[in-house]
Structure 1
Amino acid sequence: MTRHVLAAFVCAAVVLGMGTPLLVATADDTDGPLTVRVVRGETGVGGILVVATDPSGASVSGVTGPDGTARLTTTALSGGKYRVDASIPASMPDVKPAAEDQSRASLTEFVDVGGGKAVTLTMGVGGMDGPVQLGDRTWFDTDGDGVQDGDEPPLPGVRVQLLGCDGGGAPLAEETTDSAGRYLFGPAEGLQPNSCYTLRFDFGGVNTGPLPGSPPVEGLKWTVPHAGDQSLDSDVDPESGSVRVAIGPPGSVDHTVDAGVVGGLNRIGDLVWADVNRNGLQDQGEPGIADVGVRLQKADGTPVAGTSTGPHGQYQFSHLPDGSYQVCFDTAKLPPQYGDYQLTRQRAGAPGQDSAPDPATGCTAPTELTPSRTQDFTMDAGLAPPVNRIAALVWQDVDGDGAPGALEPGIAGVPVKLRGADGTQVAMTTTGQDGKYSFDDLPSGSFAVCFDLANLPQAAADFTPVEGSPVSGADPATGCTPQVTLGLGKREDTALNMGLAAPANRIGDRVWADTNRNGIADATESGSSGVPVKLLRAGGGEEASTTTGADGRFRFTGIPDGAYQVCVDRAALPAPVAGYQFTKPRAGESTKDSDVDLASGCAPPVAVGVGHRDESTIGVGLSPARNRLGDLLWVDRNGNGTQDAGEPGAAGVPVTLTDDGGRPVATTRTAADGSYLLDDLPDGSYRVCFDLAGLAPEFRGFHIAGGDPGCAGPVTVGPKPREDLSVRIGLVSASPAVVPAAQESTSGGGFPVGWVLFGVVAAIGAVVGVRWWKAAEPGA
């Protein structure tokens, strides 16, 4: 069979001239000269192109002279082992491949000129005047690309059966491949012209010891078929191990039926096909696509190898070490008839019958090859006919740089409207959990995307579009992008993004010297500069710190949403307020009073976020140190000594401070939260007493545990320490009496026991009530 590979060799020579890196080989000056002679009978045939290709893909070529001889210098190549191909030009239609015999080789042969060894190779051509002949070679496809390379070893011992056209019945003849992997069928084996046959190959009896990696026979498989030139690739169907061939008229010679075997190492592959109906599945009748670039890389993106799909869309990477790999498909350089096809939707069905790569990246998810999982042939890619599509992202621009970052989340639930060229609404959707949206199957035309800023989800209700960003294309005023046109040359637009930024959260106010000690920042009272202020997260930990300015102002800006406390450390106060105390909190208007706790120096927690971005009323009043004491009076319902949830402060209770002689020194009332402060006290020891008659009705009868039911102490202040702000008092209730239910006498005339107990309890209650009433009388 005539093989017209001249164009391919010329292209290879042009690529070599351009210095393509894949074809650059290290020169090997130890290789010997290679002489190729092409004869017809005994006569040399001139004008035949002869090419020698080394294992790297680099080649040298020559044309036979009038005597049929071409001398090829291989010193610029590498490897020592070469594939030699002779190509009959189209200008010689009467010249055909000749039958192979002891003196003449076929037009594709493999030679070794390593170590300076000179080789002369004689190839035969004829004119359809010899016997019919069928055969060629079996080999071990080391790189798994389906093409015979110069350094890939032959595979002797393969049994080849010649069967009838339908492949059934007893074999007509049988051969076993020789040491060069060759087999031949001719008239002696019953081969007839103008006939159809099936060749069946069986590698079950080969010796795999000399092969790379010495793979077990049970691990061998037929390589990918039809991956290149007919004389160089494998023709065997991987499933059946057979191929159907046709023999032409008398003199027909076919030395192109080769069979490649792979095995023993990891493999990844399979198919790139045209998903005509765009359903993501490999349906019957959908063709494979040739010449699609395929790249294999490690899971971290490190390149491993590259190839392109064969005539039927198949590809394979073999002899891979264990590890994690990704396959990436180059959709930017598709064959012309598929020029603007796009990757179809990912994982629409069973692996191996659907498309594996992510349409956004062109790469599959990583797949792991291990000793127990040596191959993955589910890395298929479907290319679908183009449809117009708009797809992009709405994200929270946390850092304000106008570009989505790896840690910046998408915003779900944003309404997105698609408008046509005339401004009418075409479609509407909302962003998904990842912030992405898409409009698919659009007609050709011009469109704008508008984001509904008035109906943003609750979590982003007060967010605003990023301004002046090349990535975020929405107009901050309208929420609409510029129009884009979809159609021939541009089927998809993925740039209509919108970045939304949250308004900056702010917490702060002022530290001032409360010289008149009224708890209010009066107009004449100046701010305190240089005061350290900390911002603590409500859940624990410091978020930020600062110091007050010349006017006593402080501010924390750009903090994340959440709850925080402002705290000031009295021990770190600078001059001239060193040693000052915190003034009494919540004494009046929230924008002018002090908010920090007297003892801890921390204000109550405040939350900033959506709907409340600015909390600038946390004042801190400082007053010159004087003796004072106080804290809290609350109702300790469970008597555990700790103010728990649901246990209120006792509001409006009169508080009297008495000295050792029981004389009143100072008075006040508890605030709404039960707090109190007795200020400007002389040095001394005191008791704090509460008039519990003013308690709310539901707490009547509650008292201070232990000792006097209305007083606590003694407490000492001055000169050191100046204050005691830990006089925290819980009011407890007397333990209720446990009264069993009344029982009737079983004697029939007895007085019920329950009534007896009731009378006892009532008598005790009357006595206690009289004593309490007398104690409450004025002057008692």
Structure 2
Amino acid sequence: PDPGKAIIGDTVWYDDNGDGIQQPGEPGIPGIQVCATDAGGVQQACATTDANGHYRLEVPAGSYVVAPTNPPAGLTATTPTPHGPVILVAGDQYLDADFGYNDNDQQPVLGKVGDLVFLDGDKNGVFDGNNTALAGVSVDLIRDTDGDGVWDAGEPIIATVTTVGSLDAQGGNYLFTGVPAGRYLVHVSDTNAVLTDYARSPLGVAGVNNHNQADPYPVHLVNPGDSNRTADFGYYQVDRPNVGVIGNQVWVEPNDNGLFDVLQGDFGQPGVTVELLNAAGAVIATTTTGASGDYAFVHLAGGTYKVRVSDAYNVLAGYNPSIVPTPGADSTNKAQPYTVALPAGGYNLTADFGYTGGGGGQGTGTIGNLIWEDLNADGTYQAGEPGIGNVTVQLWYDADNSCTLNTGDFLVETQTSSGTVTLGGNYKFERNDLPAGNYLVRVTDSNTVLVGYTQSQGTNPGADNNSQLQPYCIVGFAGSDLNGSNLTADFGYWRPAALGDFVWQD
């Protein structure tokens, strides 16, 4: 493969039971052309499935949607089509772009979740004749990985839609389609601030259609093709004559310095609840951070307020508040609750809160540790096989816990390997600021040492001295605070032998 490109694959199959998952005995479908199209609409690569239904695409780094161009006649898709977007960097291998098909008479395998955000004019928590649909409100669908009905840390937003101002035939104004069976949460994120002048209606009867539900609202699609359209949320308009504002960001940082700096790998944390308290300490408003960790309390009268992070959805589980470097300064972490004296009509955007899972010097995290010449190309390091020196390797923090390199992940450090194997390794990342979480390791070889080599593939993924697939994902690293260590990021390379080289007339 071209080291400057990424790989997408890998299967089109006959989904006999229509569950969207390839089971043993469900055969691949040959002769299907699958293409990857970039963000500009340009088709970058196509391939045709082999006798086992497998395909492989080599594409430049970028964002792609993947889809068959000649789906099997007479069959219905049982998986989302097209697949994506998939964001890749050079050297990535993404092998989950799979497409299932079955007979048209099979039960539909994808369901729907929705469907109403409404103006509750009579404030009774029920959509009735006095109410109208609210347009322009963003709503998120979240995968409830552990099925506990709570938005836990690491549970991803998998889709976002925006409400419209009219009702469809089923009485809704938003809908998630193509949803497989499983457990989900629905959350009104309102990133466009449409609901600034609205308050939540009283809760209706849980699970009953057209009743105002708790946010986030748990949904369980038990069987393939099930739908749930009871995720309804009511709001009523309030009179807010005041114009004061308090905000504005919650972030996560790896280095625990209390200063927001994207160049140091800091990133705004969405989905965190923040509370506004009055001078007496009573909670008077709650909001949730948006995609960049931003938030704001608006329409405030002049007076003394306090702000604190409540994190009702446990998004920050495992993180701790950063140090407080400069009290009161913008874009620096504040002690909580943070007191703000707001003048009438004024604004204060210094209510910033940083969090870290790293050590701040309290311990050392270690990740590594071997790049070697795999003389017998078996994917396993044996004593006597030499290290390969001057090879660059990168450590990335996997911010979204996806085990793939995405735009939200950040580069922690680049190391260069030694030619000598010492204590079983020849490169190592040792730092005191690694937060707990997932990490990705990949060989970049910016010095072109590995030209002419091919990476070997081990048979024991995750084991020490095994040549790992790249980027290699380290799941659940303990972090520097707990002196976390993982030395299984090993990569073997081999090069073909050559015989030759000259025939002449003597």
- Structure scoring higher RCO (CA < 8 A, sep ≥ 6) equals 2
Bigger helix fraction: 1
Q: Does the TM-score normalized on the shorter chain lie above 0.5?
A: no
| TM-score using structure 1 length | 0.21
Would you tell me which structure has more strand in proportion to its own residues?
2
